[in-house]
Amino acid sequence: MKAIQRIFLLFFLLFTQAFAQKIYYFKIEGEIAEPTRVMVDSALAEAKRKKVDYVIMEINTPGGLVSAADHINQQILDYPIPVWAFINNNAYSAGALIAIACDSIYMAEGANMGAVTPVDAEGKYAPEKYRAAIRAKMRASAEANRRNPKIAEAMVDETLEYDSLVAPGKLIVYTTSEAIKNGYCEGKFNSVEEILKHYKMEKAQIIRYTPTFIDKLIGFFLNPVIRTLLILLIIGGIYFELQTPGVGFPLIAALVGLALYFVPHYIQGLAQNWELLLFLGGLGLIALEIFVMPGAKVFLIAGLIIMFGALGLMMIGNVGFSLEGVSQKSLYESLITTSIGLLGTIVMIVILAPKIATSKQFKHIALQTTLDRKEGYVSATMPPMIGKQGTAYTVLRPSGKVLIDNHTYDAFTQGDFIEQGTPIEVIAQEGAELVVKRI
């Protein structure tokens, strides 16, 4: 009998579950940026796969990147499933641009919405062409959801006066009651549960957005601390590889660091291909300084500036070299992260370079001993060698040994790096050492 009851209960639950309404729920919190865009795209795609009846988006944001908000706005307008916005606190600027695209807007007590005027990185109003584009977008979004487009436009342009609730010359920012009065809010509720209860949907199946393992992994590598460590790994690896060419490990570490830095930013829509090419161009200038024109310093400095500039640009979601729509917070975070990475790299080089140069692992590429008189080494008279030619017996970085007339001599260059086996010519003698150059 109990078995029959259990089977009946199971069928009942399956039946009610099959006909219960399904709600997909996710949040937009904090500053809106490219990661927000990627998250919303992922959430809306999953909601469509789950064949839900409604999507509820809880919003609390001071605004953010206009390009990301504009993308989300269009995604919602084109979305085949009704999307509801629940503003639990604030939906300013880019947040209002997103909310106005939703089929229904609900606000908590004390919530606010509006002030959509785009600003530049310094907090000043963006040029008129950008403001005109946002005004048009707000009007179109309002019309699509049967809201007054004049109000939407007045949220962007303070010169457009609509009602007595807002002082002349001020942008519209509605409280909950003001939004309800002007048709920009369907009701005041303090939670999503209250909204569902109002529409007798308490038993609806709620599917909540949860980040995938890949999302969490990307989030880990986008952490400012991890970003700084990756910059340190990239620049430090390149430096030690240039100091000890042929070893391979420092270069591999740098390439792995670059991949872990670039790929998450690229997936999140922050980094672009041209920024990676810019970084490699800076690296090319450093290589030019070391191998072709040593001592010039101009290429070295320019290369470092370009490399760190490229790493910084990968963080902020800019369009080309324009910083329109990029928040001050993003710029400051980028500047601080790259600066700490640079300082950390310098400290690492100062501490580790002497230890690496004398380590056992580098015996085959670096001179480890000195010819001490106590050990029986004495100086010998050397015949005139200027003009003689030979080959680099060891790597010259810039010191090493050369082979001339089947005899080895201590030698150094004037700053050039010369690979083993490279033809050389003696240009000067200093005591028992030769000064050589590449032929």
Q: What is the set of domains in the chain, with CATH numbers?
A: 21-210 (3.90.226.10), 214-362 (no CATH), 373-438 (2.40.50.140)
Residue of 105 and 367 predicted with greater confidence: 105
**Average pLDDT score over the chain:** 82
Provide φ and ψ at 423, rounded to 5°: -60, 135
Q: Report the alpha-carbon distance of residue 257 to residue 263 in Å, rounded.
A: 10
State residue 108's pLDDT score: 97
Of the two residues 144 and 320, the one the predictor is more confident about is 144
**pLDDT value at position 171?**
86
The dihedral formed by the CA atoms of 239, 242, 247 and 248, expressed in degrees to the nearest 10: 70
- Residue 204 sits at φ, ψ, to 5 deg, of -65, 145
Which whole-number Å values give the CA distances from 69 to 66, 76, 112, 334, in the listed order?
A: 5, 11, 18, 21
Is it the case that residue 34 has pLDDT exceeding 80? no
Distance CA 18, CA 402 (A): 84
Question: How many Cβ atoms are within 10 Å of 305's Cβ, its own excluded?
Answer: 12
Q: How far apart are CA 324 and CA 130, in angstroms?
A: 9
Model confidence band, residue 227 (pLDDT cutoffs 50, 70, 90): confident
Residue in the structure block whose two tokens are 């680099």: 392
Lowest mean pLDDT among 68-82, 99-113, 356-370, 416-430: 356-370
How many Å apart are CA 323 and CA 239, to the nearest integer? 31
User: What is residue 32's DSSP assignment?
Assistant: B
Task: Give the angle 65-68-70 at the CA atoms, nearest 5°.
Answer: 105
3-state secondary structure (DSSP) of residue 137: helix
List, for residues 97-119, the tens digit of each pLDDT value.
Answer: 999 999 999 999 999 999 888 77
- Using alpha carbons, select from 425, 376, 432, 430 the residue that is nearest to residue 404: 425
Instruction: Determine whether 303 is exposed, middle or buried from the number of CB atoms within 10 Å of its CB (0-12, 13-18, 19+).
Output: buried
325-352 mean pLDDT: 77
Average pLDDT rounded to a whole number, residues 6-10: 46
pLDDT at residue number 13: 39
Q: What is the pLDDT, as a whole number, of residue 17?
A: 44
3-state SS, residue 49: helix
What pLDDT shows up at residue 12?
40
Average pLDDT (206-216) is 85
- Taking the C-alpha atoms of residue 106 and residue 111, their distance in angstroms, rounded to an integer, is 10
* Amino acid type, 341: G
Look at residue 369 and tell me whether its pLDDT is greater than 50. yes
Residues whose CB falls within 8 Å of the CB of residue 330, separated by 6 or more in sequence, listed in order? 31, 33, 65, 315, 316, 317
Query: Distance between CA atoms of 221 and 336, rounded to whole angstroms?
Result: 16
How far from chain centre, in Å, is Cα 124?
Answer: 24
Q: How far apart are CA 433 and CA 439, in angstroms?
A: 18
How confident is the model over 328-344, as a mean pLDDT?
Answer: 80
Residue 144's pLDDT band, with cuts at 50, 70 and 90, is very high
* Res 298: pLDDT: 82
Residue with tokens 């041209």: 274
3-class SS shares of the chain: helix, strand, coil, % to 5? 45, 20, 35
Confidence (pLDDT) at 376: 47
Mean per-residue pLDDT, 168-187: 90
Question: Distance (Å, rounded) from C-alpha 248 to C-alpha 405?
Answer: 33
pTM: 0.63
Q: What is the mean pLDDT of residues 167-190?
A: 89
Mean pLDDT of all residues in 272-301: 81
> What's the whole-number mean pLDDT along residues 218-237?
85
Query: Is 87's pLDDT higher than 80?
Result: yes
Beta carbons within 8 Å of 254's beta carbon, 6+ residues apart: 233, 234, 235, 236, 237, 238, 241
Transcribe 332-376 into DSSP letters.
HHHHHHHHHHHHHHHHHHHHHHHHHHTSGGGTTTS------GGGT
Question: What is the Cα–Cα distance from 281 to 270, expressed in whole angstroms?
Answer: 19
C-alpha–C-alpha distance, residues 105 and 86, integer Å: 6
Question: And the tokens for 187?
Answer: 């009701």
- 58: pLDDT strictly greater than 60: yes
Tokens representing 290 are: 């070391």
Q: What is the DSSP letter of 244?
A: S
- Which residue type, as a one-letter code, is found at position 215? D
Reported as a pLDDT band with limits 50, 70 and 90, residue 122 is low
Bond prior to 398 in cis (omega within 30° of 0): yes
Q: 98-107, 145-154, 326-335, 366-375 — which one is most confidently predicted on average?
A: 98-107
pLDDT(399) > 90:
no
